Amino acid sequence: MYFIGVDIGGTGVQAGIVDESGNILFKKECKTNVQNGFESVMDDINDLIRSMILENSLDIKDIKSIGFGVPSFVNKKGLVTCVNLNWHEVNFIEAIKKRFPEVDVYAENDATVAAIAEYKFGSMKDKDICVMYTLGTGVGGGIIINGKAITGSHGMASEMGHTIIGENYYDCNCGSNGCLETFCSATAIINYAKKLINEGNKSIILEFVDNKIENITAKDVFDAYRKNDDVAIKTINRFKKYLAKAFGSMVNTLDPDVICIGGGVSKSSDIILDGINDLVRENILYKNEEFCEIVCATLGADAGIIGAAFLG
């Protein structure tokens, strides 16, 4: 039996055929033509999956289930709202069932999907209480307890990117002020480094981008950190300070076995995880007790396909 996992992003759709052990046997992708509307994107996904099955000489009967990770909120009725894709309460599950009546289909928030993959086959394997933070353009969250993804009574759970952990100098896209996402995402790193540079602080980051401040990436800031650049050190230390507040609050709330970081920013996990335990300890109530391990995700970008494949 095979599974299909599909990771829907704002620019592209990645699909894969996955075996029972979580190995991706075949991958294929297409563009997300958001401007053509929801039904058209669904048609493209239909073509992508059907061609993938054909190319591998499989039959739809060989596929146990198809799962989808979506960059959005999936409510209990299967309605999906995603600002990036311009989807507002679209009936995602029904649209997929219409195209694949022969197979079981599932959809879940992409950060939860990544957490499922890391729990089944990666850095959180077989742990009872698992929490994953995906640190990318924004911050996503996934919580797995005793093998079950916690999505809440209404599908709204595990949005740790929007837990409020302090007052910030700019508002979050969601309209609130102080969301974790505005302190601990790639966007937050870029914004803060720019702010320090605009305030007149000298930095080698500008050399990396030929003085085009608008081209700064989070990677540039981490690279500058490795060269002891003052602006980069201030920016990354601030990022870690607030990440530790979030992790400390999570320990106080759930006391997990493991906290895992994934997403693009976690490529610099050596810097992020260095000394993080001491920072987290400052934010937990029972300071002398042992607390969870904090690790980096191991499946990388494949977590989206693998986790989606095992949503069933």
Which residues form the interface with Zn ion (CB under 5 A)?
A: 162, 172, 174, 176, 179
Beta bridge partners, 158, equal: none
* Residue 65: CB minimum distance to Zn ion, A: 32
Cα dihedral 158, 162, 164, 167, rounded to 10, equals 160
Which is nearest to 7 in space by CA: 23, 34, 33, 30? 30
* 309: CB partners within 8 A, 6+ apart: 3, 4, 5, 16, 18, 22, 65, 67
* Residue 167: CB minimum distance to Zn ion, A: 13
* Residue 176: CB minimum distance to Zn ion, A: 5
Residue whose CB is less far from Zn ion, 67 or 140: 140
* Residue 174: CB minimum distance to Zn ion, A: 3
Task: Give the Cα separation of 16 and 274 in Å (integer).
Answer: 34
Residue whose CB is less far from Zn ion, 41 or 179: 179
Residue whose CB is less far from Zn ion, 14 or 182: 182
Residue whose CB is less far from Zn ion, 10 or 147: 10
* 287: CB partners within 8 A, 6+ apart: 281
Q: Are 22 and 35 in contact (CB under 8 A)?
A: no
Residue whose CB is less far from Zn ion, 182 or 268: 182
φ and ψ at 214, to 5 degrees?
A: -70, -15
Beta bridge partners, 140, equal: 134
Residue whose CB is less far from Zn ion, 162 or 240: 162
**3-class secondary-structure state, position 257:** coil
* Residue 91: CB minimum distance to Zn ion, A: 26
CA distances from 92 to 49, 58, 101, 108, 140 (A): 16, 25, 14, 10, 20
* Residue 170: CB minimum distance to Zn ion, A: 11
φ and ψ at 141, to 5 degrees?
A: -140, 150
SS3 content of the chain, % helix, strand, coil (to 5): 40, 25, 35
* Residue 133: CB minimum distance to Zn ion, A: 14
Residue whose CB is less far from Zn ion, 22 or 71: 71
